[in-house]
Every structure is written in C-alpha cells, then in structure tokens.
C-alpha cells in the first residue's frame, strides 16, 4: 500500500447504491398487528353505536366512517377504496384465514355438542 498523499483521493469511495427503503405495505402482519383487527374489534365494542331500525342510512354512514377512520389509522397512505381492496386481498393469506376462523369459533355458542 502506498502512503496517503493527503489529498483524500486515495480513499476508496463506495459506489454501491444503498438499497431503497422498502415501502410500507398493508399486509397480513400489519393487519393482524395491534393497530389492525384487534383494535378494530376493541373499538367496535365500545365506540360503534348504531341506532337500529328506522335509521338505516345514517347508521350506514356511521359504519362506513368508522371503518374509514380505522383504516386511516392503520394505513394512512392509501385512500379508503384502495385500502379496502388491500385488506380484502390480505384476507386470503393463511395467517389471516386462521385468525378469522378462530374469531368465529370464539363466538360460536358451544364447540360441538349434541345439538342436532
């Protein structure tokens, strides 16, 4: 190795590009994370108040804005429609399917007893 000339031209300059920061995605991990469906369920339990019969349209608008605000917290980047499509797509993943069946089973009255 030659001695340093003092001008700084002998130092190796790294020309390799840094890898781009991967974009944030609304995938199954995010969806099942704490800000995802668990929060949706928690919020639904105590925030969502529907008036019921006779107020169908106002209830629907309340429900839709409920989902919209939740999605905005979960994934602020995308608008409502796109975010819904992404969530739907993630819903076919194995992890999510498993979680979904579990939630449904939770709510079932009794796991398998002589009903019929």
Which CA distances in Å does 41 have to 14, 32, 48, 109?
Answer: 49, 11, 10, 19
Q: How far is the CB of 2 from another protein (least distance, A)?
A: 50
User: Residue 106 and residue 101: Cα distance in Å, rounded?
Assistant: 8
* Sign of the alpha-carbon dihedral angle for 36, 42, 99, 33: positive
* Sign of the alpha-carbon dihedral angle for 38, 39, 42, 44: negative
Select 10 or 25, whichever has its Cβ closest to another protein: 25
**Binding to another protein in span 44-83, by CB under 8 A:** 44-45, 47-48, 50, 52-53, 56-57, 59-61, 63-65, 67-69, 72-73, 76-82
User: Which residues here bind another protein, judged by CB under 8 A?
Assistant: 37, 40-41, 43-45, 47-48, 50, 52-53, 56-57, 59-61, 63-65, 67-69, 72-73, 76-82, 84-88, 91-92, 96, 100-101, 103-104, 106-108, 115-116
């Amino acid at each position: 190795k030659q001695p340093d000339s003092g001008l700084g031209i002998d130092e190796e300059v790294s020309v390799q590009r840094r890898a781009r920061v991967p974009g944030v995605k609304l995938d199954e991990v995010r969806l099942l994370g704490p800000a995802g469906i668990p929060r949706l369920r928690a919020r639904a339990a105590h925030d969502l108040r529907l008036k019921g019969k006779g107020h169908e349209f106002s209830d629907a608008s309340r429900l839709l804005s409920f989902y919209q605000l939740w999605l905005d917290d979960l994934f602020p980047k995308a608008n409502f429609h796109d975010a819904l499509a992404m969530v739907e797509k993630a819903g076919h993943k194995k992890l999510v399917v498993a979680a979904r069946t579990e939630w449904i089973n939770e709510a079932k009255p009794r796991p398998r007893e002589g009903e019929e």
